Amino acid sequence: MESNLRAHTLSETRGFVKALVEAEGDRILGFTAFGVGAAEILSAVQIAMNAGVPYTTLRDTILTHPTLVEGLIPLFSSTPVPVTPVEFKPEAGLTEMPDQLVGR
Amino acid sequence: MSATQNAGSSEVSRKSEVEDHDLVILGVGTGSTLAAWTFAGEGKRVAAIDRRYIGGSCPNIACLPSKNIIHSAKVASYVQRSKEFGIVHDGITIAMAGVRERKRAMVRGLNAVYLNNYKKTGAEFILGTGRSRCPWSRICGRTRSRRRVDL
């Protein structure tokens, strides 16, 4: 919450957000929020999880600024690179960058 | 900047004022602040120049200070409605100096965070003005140039 700019405007920087993302995919498996407006932030992620939206969508969406839910962008931007990176092989007949590699 | 001041000095000292950068940003708002940190974090040599604000208008005079003061107004509103919530008081005074100080403290804190990010990423923040001696496309925006830039 210390890195959430809206939380600074509210003088409510205590807390954290935490996400569990699939190691070899983009699915969000779990999410925890503790702090101001946690319930509202949870709902946004809950909808994404129920709809099977990859974490990259939340990471890349331009959310209203400055809001608490906007903190999902730095959270999901800090996701480590997968343990087994997918190799891009142009000779294999691929004409576009595989989805798994976009943005990494 | 100092190169101009030393314009009359020897060739050697003039040369020492010229610095190489991969990216020089004139006018640093939110977008270019993130660009400066990102490119510097990737090992590029970055200079970000703004004449007044660390992080641009957003954390200093726009998005965030406005929401800070609006939140104080919300608190004042709650206090005025406190009876609804079962809280009784003997009358309130809104001290605008206190409202302003909370806002200023937040901005100071954000400035410190931003400066720390500059330090961590290795991007150089320069409080001042700059101008281009070559076409804009060569030194500004996201274009990186190997040309020397005289600041």
At A71, which CATH number? 3.30.390.30
Q: How many folded domains does chain A comprise?
A: 1
Question: Is A15 among the domain residues?
Answer: yes
Confidence bin at A76 (pLDDT 50/70/90): very high
Q: Which of B55, B24, B60 is nearest to B132 (CA)?
A: B24
Question: Is A93 among the domain residues?
Answer: no
Question: Is B144 among the domain residues?
Answer: no
Compute the residue count for chain A: 104
Task: Please give the DSSP secondary-structure letter assigned to residue B149.
Answer: B
Segments forming the whole domain that contains residue A22: 5-81
Average pLDDT, stretch A82-90? Answer: 56
Question: Is A43 among the domain residues?
Answer: yes
Question: Is A97 among the domain residues?
Answer: no
Question: Is A47 among the domain residues?
Answer: yes
Confidence bin at A86 (pLDDT 50/70/90): low
Residues of A in contact with B104 (CB under 8 A): none
How far CA B46 is from CA of A86, A103, B86, B110, B124, in Å, comes to 31, 22, 56, 21, 6
pLDDT score of A88 more than 70: no
Question: Is B56 among the domain residues?
Answer: yes
- The mean of the pLDDT values for chain A is 85
In this prediction the pTM is: 0.77
Q: What is the pLDDT of residues A1-27, one digit of tens each?
A: 999 999 999 999 999 999 999 988 899
pLDDT score of A80 more than 90: no
Q: State which residues of chain B have pLDDT below 70.
A: 1-18, 132-151
Q: At B27, which CATH number?
A: 3.50.50.60
Q: Rounded to a whole number, what is the distance in Å from the CA of A65 to chain B's nearest CA?
A: 8
Give the residue from chain B lying closest to A3, CA to CA.
B113
Q: Report how many Cβ contacts below 8 Å link chain A to chain B.
A: 26
Q: How many folded domains does chain B comprise?
A: 1
* B62 interface with A at CB cutoff 8 Å: no
Q: How far is it, in rounded angstroms, from Cα A27 to Cα A25?
A: 6
Segments forming the whole domain that contains residue B97: 2-139
Percent of chain A at pLDDT > 70 equals 77
